[in-house]
Amino acid sequence: MDNGFWGLATAIGSLPHKDVKPALDIIFRHLPEIPHWPQLSAAGEEEGFVRQYLQPLLDRQLVVEAPSREPYFATNAADWLERLTAFYSEVLAEITPDATARFGFPEAAATGFYSFLSHHIHQPSVRYLKGQLVGPVTMGFQVTDDNFQPAFYQDELRDVLVRTLALQARWQARILKRHGLPVILFIDDPGIYGYGQSTFVGLSRGAIQESLKPLIDAVHDEGAFVGVHACAGVDWSLLFELPFDIVNVDVYHYFTSLLLYASEFDQFLSRGGVLAWGLVPTSQQVEQETSQNLLARLQEYFSVLMKKGVDPARMRKQLLFTPSCGTGTLSELQAEKVYDLLQQISKQYRR
């Protein structure tokens, strides 16, 4: 793993802004080394966290929209098999630039992405470019079949989602790499939190890992780093076992969840993995925090994990800083406070 990540800061993706310019100003001012494109769900329905990535399936009429319900797979359509056959004929063909481009999101669904590309990316401070992609578990639970059953529980529909997201990951990595900088692509999959919950009894470890692996492979094939963001206190061993370069943990709210998997965390670090410490809260609590307080927390976390057998040198070196989650639910002033704290933490940690 590239040790150049040491102590740098980036963010998850979402911001509360409706206009892209102030969002980009905050990103490039406070995250000058790993800027990310802003996901602006407040800018319109098409830019919603899941909806943003659905256009390829809507274009091919595999997924349809209807009043009073979320987009869904048209599995009861008379020509469903024909639509499905056409999809597989396309995705099983050679993965050319033109083929991946057909799976990218349109400008109307991602003004933040396209504005980011035309921003002043080639500033001397920029060392990596970060993008993000919705994860298959999250998408597979929000998008259902005709009968309101989650797509993730159905092998055929889950496969369609995974293949679509893998092509989108390739496309995004290729577009970002055109700027001549290393690329990091995060898979944002808060739906993983359902694993082990009584209300998600059908959500298996194997299905989650099998759905993530093709996305990891696609990003690696494109020569980019791949990270994962999962909300709350998930079974971190599930993610540490996969070949992610970066695993993001909300340590501000769920640090104790990491203690259960200290051995797996240490093994992840020994393979060169990087932990992205979600140290800055994306809640009202951000208004009471300071960089000194948060760095003191971090030192306490290091001490506890070291006692659990985690290699201290690797742990202190193989790390990034992020917010605990996206800032899309905050006010614009609170979001800027989050980004300002990130910048302060990063600078002070590297002194």
pLDDT in tens, the chain (351 residues): 556 899 999 999 999 999 999 999 999 999 999 999 999 998 888 888 889 999 999 999 999 999 888 899 999 999 999 999 999 999 998 888 888 899 998 888 899 999 999 887 778 899 999 999 999 999 999 999 999 999 999 999 999 999 999 999 999 999 999 999 999 999 999 999 988 787 777 899 999 999 999 999 999 999 999 999 998 889 999 999 999 999 999 999 999 999 999 999 999 999 999 999 999 999 999 999 999 999 999 999 999 999 999 999 999 999 999 999 999 999 999 999 999 999 999 999 998
- What is the model's pLDDT at position 22? 95
Nearest partner of 346 among 325, 324, 323, judged by Cα: 323
Q: How distant is the alpha carbon of residue 103 from its chain centre? A: 18
Nearest partner of 11 among 284, 250, 317, 313, judged by Cα: 250
What is the token pair recorded at 256? 């104790």
- What is the model's pLDDT at position 280? 98
Residues near 147 by Cβ (< 8 Å), separated by ≥ 6? 75, 76
What is the token pair recorded at 85? 């056959």
- The region, left, alpha or beta by phi > 0 then psi within -120 to 50, assigned to residue 232 is left
Find the domain containing 92 and state its range: 3-349
Query: How many domains does the chain divide into?
Result: 1
Note the pTM of the prediction, 2 decimals: 0.96
Specify the CATH number for the domain of residue 308: 3.20.20.210
3-class DSSP state of 191: helix
